[in-house]
Amino acid sequence: MKVFQTNEIRNIALIGGAKSGKTTLAETMLFEGGVINRRGSVDDKNTLSDYRPIELERQNSVSATVLFTLFNDKKINIIDAPGFDDFIGEVISGLHVADTAVMTVNAQNGVEVGTEITWRHTDRLEKPVILVVNHLDVELANFDETVRQLKQQFGNYVTVVQYPVNQGNGFNTIIDLLKMKMYKYPADGGKPEVLDIPAEEKDKAEEMHAALIEELASKDEALMEEFFDKETLTEEQINQAMQIGLKTRGMFPVMCTCSKNNIGVSRFLEFISNSVPAPDEMPGVKTTDGKVLTCKASDPTSLFVFKTSIEAHLGEVSFFKVYAGELTEGQDMINANRNTKERISQLFVMNGKNREKVEKFVAGDIGATIKLKNTFTNNTLNSLKNPDDIIESITYPNPKFRVAVKAKNANDDEKIGAVLNDLAKMDPTLIFGYSKELKQMILQGQGELHLNLMKWHLENIEQIEVDYLAPRIQYRETITKSAKSSYRHKKQSGGAGQFGEVFMMIQPYKEGMADQKEYSIRSRETVDLEWGGKLIMNSCIVGGAIDTRFMPAIMKGVMEKMEEGPLTGSYARDIVFNVYDGKMHPVDSNEISFKLAGRHAFKDAFKNAGPKILEPIYDVEVIVPEDKMGEVMTDLQGRRALIMGMDSEGNYQKIKAKVPLAEMNRYSTALSSLTSGRATYDMTFAEYVQVPSDIQDKLLKVYEAEEQEED
């Protein structure tokens, strides 16, 4: 393959709702570009894009696929992204490196959930958008209604540049308002007849064309003057104005296709090659130190890894975009994030699982390499001339759904960990780890479907049977008042015995609190607990009742009980304990004796100090259509939510609430059911607060029952 220069490259991400035809459109684009000789289909399970076993079984994309086609001497890199919100991380990764988003819309269904959700990300990332109304051949296709919905949802910058003549069964004809020609396609698609617009369509087309040209001219002052002077624009000026409109998100052109029958696709490719900005015509990407890389081939090399996957016969594949300079085989690079060296052994262009070896990539291009030792998604690789540039990372949404994973065969636990860690490398929205606190393997992702596919992978690819369980909650324990206790540990079993006695007063800790006045504090040790909060030990011993060498043992005993709280076994926090008296034995006292005495004294005092269970509270933001506000609010209130406020966000409402984590189990599924999948949400940890007394009573009973079962 030839080396394409920056101005010969176009980078697009295919996004949109599930079943809107993204994969079929990608397949047809490759066919029209001559990259493949025969078009596959989703139904026949032989497309280049959906090739993974789970995609073949489900017949929809679950991972973004990197592809390319050729048209008019341009290389068009295509990232075919999934349509379900559970795989939104793949969409975000693709949009991050694409210069333009192509959003497919089903002509029968109009604006769907996936359309709305993916649009928000194009808006946040300020990406140009081309709207492709697809499936115009189906009986209930309604182009005008689809455009009306698009304008209603996304504003008047939605601009028709093509419209269908005979949508529905037998669709084969498009009026192109840029070329002012009619494109009539043969029954099986392909190369169209380019005809003059017939008389019955001429008035409509000329009226729409005039409005379009005026709209395009308004994007540039010089073009506006030209338009006023000549009342029209040349084809070159139209392409220039369209490019300006796209770059500034001042125009979202609407095009027509039936990708299944290869109708409108060649003209769509022509539009991309003529009007979509090249990488160096787009705003540059920022580095963490404020530098901007603008895809100049003359600059020192910088590339960004936006996706990692494991492919059969290749192993780990790293997909990247070159943001500056040129990349060649054998080039030595520096991983700026990890300060490690990498050598680029081989370079490929990818079309799904197919690959073609190349020798060089130029700034703006997208490619792949293998056998990187210590480079992962969100890492920047630089030449030795600019080792410190770090391109800003992709920001992924917080997890929304969590489960505890348990192998049906306990011997598989270690293997599960290795597999899920590998999957998390490939999917940054997947978070996995063992919780020492909960004593569970916790898997977190974007939704129930997301995590169910991980289960499918474990059971079908790795042959490991697993169960998904409700994860435990990270409760905390604390006290609300002072209490005293003492404990004597005494043990005699021949020879040296064990003896230690500790008198203790405990208090709730609060920032800025005054010291207790009952006992004089001789020394203090403060521990910032790794799970949050503090533990403070005040030694108030006088007269040598307990030797100072035993104080660390007392602290150790208390810490052990802090790690396994007296109420539910959860971590305890925010406590001051004062050791004010005790007894020693000249022979039998030792560290273990005082550790046990301190542990038991603390436990006894804790239970008399108004103990309380704290629960984690999360800040939850729900973006919901206005007509679904009532159902969502009612559901949140049933989850003990405290509504903090509401804001408008476009055509949506944003509900802000504080919700206990214990009430968020399976919320993504419930929200989807309530809103037909039209709402989305985000959640971040906020604070710990006391649980209501009735819930504390239930938690204590559950813990007591579990303790009895273990005994």
pLDDT at 710: 61
Please list, in sequence order, all residues whose beta carbon lies within 8 angstroms of the beta carbon of residue 534, skipping any fewer than 6 positions away: 509, 526, 527, 528, 573, 574, 575
Distance CA 59, CA 287 (A): 39
pLDDT of residue 396: 94
**What is the pTM for the complete model shown?**
0.88
Residue that is written with structure tokens 């359309």 in the block? 115
400: left (phi over 0), alpha (psi -120 to 50) or beta: alpha
HEC per residue, 515-536: CCCCCCCCEEEEEECCCCCEEE
- Contact in structure between 422 and 490 (CB atoms under 8 Å): no
The list of the chain residues with pLDDT below 70 reads 494, 650, 709-711
SS3 462: coil
**pLDDT number for residue 231:** 73
359: DSSP letter: S
Alpha helices in 564-612 (DSSP H): 591-607
Q: Strands, E, within 425-473: which ranges?
A: 431-435, 440-445, 466-469
Nearest to 152 by CA among 113, 212, 111: 111
- Looking up tokens 């029952």 gives 705
For domain 613-694, the CATH architecture is 2-Layer Sandwich (3.30)
Burial of 79 (0-12, 13-18, 19+ CB in 10 A): buried
- 133-155 per-residue burial string, b: 16 or more CB within 10 A, e: under 16: bbbbbbeebbbeebbebbbebbe
Q: Which fold has domain 285-382?
A: Elongation Factor Tu (Ef-tu); domain 3 (2.40.30)
Question: What's the confidence (pLDDT) of residue 494?
Answer: 67
pLDDT in tens, 471-497: 999 999 999 999 999 999 998 776 778
Model confidence over 24-47: pLDDT tens digits?
A: 999 999 999 999 999 988 888 899
Looking at residue 335, what is its pLDDT?
97
Q: Could you read off the pLDDT of 66-86 as tens digits, one per residue?
A: 999 999 999 999 999 998 889
CATH code of domain 477-610? 3.30.230.10
pLDDT per residue as tens digits for the range 283-341: 999 999 999 999 999 999 999 999 999 887 788 999 999 999 999 999 999 999 999 99
Task: For residue 675, give the amino acid letter.
Answer: T
- Tokens standing for residue 612: 């309380």
- Per domain, the residue ranges of the chain are 6-281, 285-382, 401-472, 477-610, 613-694
Fold of 401-472: Alpha-Beta Plaits (3.30.70)
| Same fold for the pair 6-281 and 613-694 | no
**How far apart are the C-alpha atoms of 280 and 296, rounded to whole Å?**
7
Q: Phi, psi at residue 377, to the nearest 5°?
A: -55, 140
Burial zone of 480 (CB within 10 Å; 0-12 exposed, 13-18 middle, 19+ buried): exposed
405-446 pLDDT tens trace: 999 998 998 899 999 998 998 899 999 999 989 999 999 999
CATH code of the domain made up of 6-281 = 3.40.50.300
182, 165 contact by CB (below 8 A): yes
Distances in Å between the Cα of 464 and the Cα atoms of 129, 170, 182, 410, 435 are 42, 49, 57, 11, 21
Phi-psi category of 110—alpha, beta or left, where left has phi over 0 and alpha has psi -120 to 50?
left
Q: How far apart are CA 684 and CA 661, in angstroms?
A: 10
Token pair of 679, please?
């709402």
Pairing of the two strands 366-370 and 401-407: unpaired
